[in-house]
Amino acid sequence: MTKAHNVDAQRLSFILNELRLPAIKVIWPEFTERADKEGWPATRLLAALTEHEMAERDRRRIERHLSDARLPPGKTLDSFAFDAVPMVSRAQVTAMTSGDGWLEKGANLILFGPPGGGKSHLAAAIGLQLVQNGWRVLFTRTSELVQKLQLARRELALESAIAKLDKYHLLILDDLAYVAKDQAETSVLFELISARYERRSMLITANQPFGEWNRVFPDPAMTLAAVDRLVHHATIFEMNVESYRRRAALQRQTGAGRTPKYATIKSIEKMSISDNQSEESPLPATI
């Protein structure tokens, strides 16, 4: 390698640093060597380098957004048992993960169903796919976010705290029903719902149907207003299925290597009650 070539390489490295093109800085020697051997025209070399830089930027951005999303690990659409939740269409969910249309319009997605029915799994899996498709998502337990918003209110910064959540195209509120029935808590939740109405989307998981949301919002007028805003532009999945966790517990009890028949929820509950008397029971006491 000539002295002039070394100087040019050093200048190029400095320029790429200044232009903030780290991927090209790493890959250009390999690409230029290949271009010389194969006789690439300059336009092909330039296109290859810039395409590599763009691909690396996309990869790094997705990594940052995945970290920021706080999604529970291991929850993917591939690992979700669609066959156990026949009322949820895989095709519909797959179409929604593109985000086109509903996220741009600030529409919502609401998942109802008893504990253990896969609501949180599906919500996290949808969030993961959306992040991979370029959207920004935040997954949080409703009670945790409400506590943060309450703190912001006490510090006279509630409006600012809610505004900061605007950077997320989708806000996933898991376990809405576990918010305490307290006026201060539910009022900040209502303000969040109102602030995002028709602007930014929300995905909510809840154990109770709308008719029982008076357990969350103590004020009937607030309950009606919150439901009205959430359902105005919403897709609703009612996941009224047997608990995954109960089913897994039953499978463990029947023994490895055997395929048990699915029992009814009532029969499993009876088994759980009797087994709770023994500390060695593989069945959980509560779900």
Cα–Cα distance for residue pair 239/47, rounded to 1 Å: 48
- In the numeric block, the tokens 């009224």 are attached to 240
Instruction: With H, G, I as helix, E, B as strand and everything else as coil, classify residue 205.
Output: strand
- 272 and 101 Cβ atoms separated by less than 8 Å: no
- Is residue 131 pLDDT above 70, yes or no? yes
Helix and strand element counts for the chain (H, E): 11, 5
CA–centroid distance for 282 within its chain = 30
Cα–Cα distance for residue pair 122/126, rounded to 1 Å: 6
Domain ranges for the chain, please list them. Answer: 3-69, 82-238, 242-287
Q: Into which CATH architecture does domain 82-238 fall?
A: 3-Layer(aba) Sandwich (3.40)
Residue 216 has what pLDDT? Answer: 72
Model pTM?
0.75
Cα–Cα distance for residue pair 273/267, rounded to 1 Å: 10
Q: Rounded to 5 degrees, what are φ and ψ at 109?
A: -130, 130
CB atoms within 10 A of CB 172: 28
- pLDDT-based confidence at residue 287 (cuts at 50, 70, 90): very low
Residue of 8 and 20 predicted with greater confidence = 20
Per-residue pLDDT of 85-125, as tens digits, reads 888 999 999 999 988 889 999 999 999 888 888 999 999 99
DSSP code at position 179:
S
